Amino acid sequence: MLPDWDALPHLQRTDGSHRGEVYRGDMNAVVIDDVTAMRAALVEARLASTHGDVPVGAVVVRNGQVIASAGNQREQLGDPTAHAEMQVLRLAAQHVGTWRLDDCTLYVTLEPCVMCAGAIINARVGTVVFGAPDLKAGAIGSLYNVAVDPRLNHEAVVRQGVLAEECGLLLQKFFSERRP
């Protein structure tokens, strides 16, 4: 099931492609709010489940525009590090032209794990917004709080619970269909 791209102009690019690549060239000047950005991340999450990946999606917003979007690709790529956040941070850094993403906001449908929270700190991401908490593996509040730890050299602003129910239900549905 492909999303209705016409309803998501902020994920549409001038070359007609939509995702999984670096955003280049002209971008529509769309100023985006938390809910709209999380809806874009949810599109990526749903796409991830179409290739058997746990439905987690992420986008990076800078200056009110989505500059990168990606879903979980662990199964698709056979890569243990291919979580949605890792993929989208790499794309965002390519877009910005530097590893420093301090003026960026990362939106992700599920609370980041230890690896991804570590990547968020290493990328100096300014703000992280996540949907559903991950009580079993979350590293931004649930098990650890890697994003806000004064012992580390960077702290991110964190907002959570944006479309949490929708983000969580998508995961529940995925796992219930796989384990009948």
Query: Which residues are marked as active site?
Result: 85
Identify the DSSP state of 149. Answer: -
Q: Cβ of residue 33: shortest distance to Zn ion, in angstroms?
A: 25
Identify the DSSP state of 166. Answer: H
Cβ neighbours of residue 38 closer than 8 Å, sequence gap 6 or more? 107, 109, 129, 131, 162, 163, 167
Q: Cβ of residue 7: shortest distance to Zn ion, in angstroms?
A: 28
**Are the C-beta atoms of 31 and 63 separated by less than 8 Å?**
no
**Are the C-beta atoms of 69 and 135 separated by less than 8 Å?**
no
| By CB under 5 A, residue 139 contacts Zn ion | no
Q: Which is nearer to Zn ion, 84 or 104 (CB)?
A: 84
Amino acid at 117: A
Residues 26-85 that bind Zn ion (CB under 5 A): 83
Considering CB under 5 A, how many residues would be counted as binding Zn ion?
A: 4
Binding mask 83-122 for Zn ion (x = CB under 5 A): x-----------------------------x-xx------
Q: Which is nearer to Zn ion, 22 or 115 (CB)?
A: 115
Q: Cβ of residue 112: shortest distance to Zn ion, in angstroms?
A: 5
- Compute, in degrees rounded to 10, the torsion defined by CA atoms 12, 88, 153, 160: 70
Q: Cβ of residue 124: shortest distance to Zn ion, in angstroms?
A: 18
Q: Which is nearer to Zn ion, 83 or 90 (CB)?
A: 83
Q: Residue 160 corresponds to which tokens in the numbers above?
A: 């959570």
Interacting residue ranges for Zn ion, rule: CB under 5 A: 83, 113, 115-116
